[in-house]
Amino acid sequence: MNQKIIILLLVALVGCNFQTESQKNKRSELKWSIRMANSVLARSDSLIYYVDRNPKWAYDVALLGMAMDKLGSIDQKYSKYMEDWVNYFVKPDGSVIDYRLDEYNLDRIFPGRNVITVYKRNPDPKYKIAINNFIEQLKTHPKTNSGGYWHKKIYPWQMWLDGIFMGSTFMAQYAKEFNAPEWFDAATSQTKMIYEKTLEPRTGLLMHAWDESHQQRWCDPQTGQSHYPWSRATGWYTLAILDILDYLPENHPDRDTLITIFKKTCDALLKVRDPKSGIWYQVLNKGGKEGNYLEGSGSAMFTYVFAKGARLDYLDKKYRDIANNAFDGIIKELITVDDKGLLTMHNICGGCGLGGNPYRDGSYEYYIGEKRVDNDTKGVAPFIMAALELGR
């Protein structure tokens, strides 16, 4: 091989390496919200098939769609990702694939929030029919004797913190968009009630759920409360309060109460934050105990609510700095980047429930033993939201 060819090959090789480094640098200059959203798009060109299961009318996929849609002002492809998901499920007659009213499941209400969003952009009657069906469910959904929505019909007499995010945020959004103020009252009353029922007064932390009948094996027979504060359940609840406040009129009589609850809960969360990493454990009050781990979804949710709460003056401004510190912890402890620039978020609890079959007993061992899933929607979505809120 002559000298000229060798030189040309070396130049090409150096140029290739330079281009690779240039591409890496360009990717790393993007904001974390965009980088994670692009990673989502790269893993599946449709939100319908992002998760490894048959398409379901599910809150977790809907939340990821909602997070992606927040980036729609940057590029319409992110909003289209969510809108295509809604249009897959909502049929021309307004019925929704994989939804049954008589299932009486609050989890199935939450995706209706994306239907409201799409309807406001494109007032096709089919969307309004679907939205009305979700409201009909809430009108007849079974309740505890004290007036709290059962989490699901298959979980009688039980309220779960998760249910406020799943049901009450829809009520508040519906109330604002369709001038139905009675649903503001329903949303705030549920939010206040579950706080009272799940609060552990000594620490200010909230237990995962409450059984009015005091019969479930997972609950304290005296109080009906479950025994542990699960990170993501409290995350759902604090997210819910912020969303409800976004829609709630300034003069609503429950507004100040919700802000007070939000402050007290965030103050309690601050006390159990891991001082070394700046993020939170799966079981909030058992940091450092064998088997407990720094969990992605709750940590991202708390980072988001601290940042947004401080911006809106619900929290002291110090919470913004704490949120930035927590975001640093998430990047360090939970995020890896591959050679293509795709992000992976680790240590996301796939799911925790109570009761059912097989029976979930709500023990410490149960919470730490559930499967962890990389890039689970329930961690990726609040990560995007936190990154966007912080402008990181």
Say whether both 255 and 378 belong to one domain: yes
Say whether both 23 and 131 belong to one domain: no
48-81 pLDDT tens trace: 999 988 999 999 999 999 999 999 999 999 999 9
DSSP 255-299: HHHHHHHHHHHHHHHHHTS-TTTSS-BSBTT-TTSTT--B-HHHH
Which pLDDT value is given to residue 15?
53
Which pLDDT value is given to residue 24?
60
Which pLDDT value is given to residue 331?
98
The pLDDT of residue 10 is above 80 = no
Q: How far is CA 192 from CA 51, 166, 286, 344, in A?
A: 34, 15, 26, 36
Say whether both 72 and 11 belong to one domain: no
Domain CATH for 126: 1.50.10.10
Q: What is the mean pLDDT of the chain?
A: 95
**Torsion angle, CA of 58/64/66/69, rounded to 10 degrees?**
-140
Say whether both 24 and 38 belong to one domain: no
Looking at the chain, list the stretches that DSSP marks H as alpha helix, in order from N- to C-terminal side: 3-29, 32-43, 59-69, 76-89, 112-121, 125-140, 162-163, 169-177, 182-198, 231-247, 255-271, 296-311, 318-334, 364-369, 377-390
Say whether both 22 and 64 belong to one domain: no
Q: Is the separation of the CB atoms in 27 and 341 below 8 Å?
A: yes
257-316 pLDDT tens trace: 999 999 999 999 999 999 999 999 999 999 999 999 999 999 999 999 999 999 999 999
pTM: 0.93
The domain containing residue 9 runs over which residues? 1-30
Say whether both 167 and 250 belong to one domain: yes
Which pLDDT value is given to residue 29?
79
Overall number of domains in the chain: 2
Say whether both 159 and 176 belong to one domain: yes
Say whether both 13 and 133 belong to one domain: no
Which pLDDT value is given to residue 17?
56
Q: What is the CA radius of gyration of the chain?
A: 22
The pLDDT of residue 353 is above 60 = yes
Say whether both 180 and 60 belong to one domain: yes
Say whether both 202 and 143 belong to one domain: yes
DSSP letter, residue 376 = -
Say whether both 3 and 65 belong to one domain: no
Q: What gap in Å lies between CA 87 and CA 98, rounded to an integer?
A: 13
pLDDT band at 4 (very low <50, low <70, confident <90, very high): low
Which pLDDT value is given to residue 362?
98
206-261 pLDDT tens trace: 999 999 999 999 999 999 999 999 999 999 999 999 999 999 999 999 999 999 99
Say whether both 294 and 188 belong to one domain: yes
11-35 pLDDT tens trace: 455 555 554 565 666 666 799 999 9
pLDDT band at 328 (very low <50, low <70, confident <90, very high): very high
Q: Is the separation of the CB atoms in 151 and 109 below 8 Å?
A: no
Which pLDDT value is given to residue 28?
64
3-class DSSP state of 365: helix
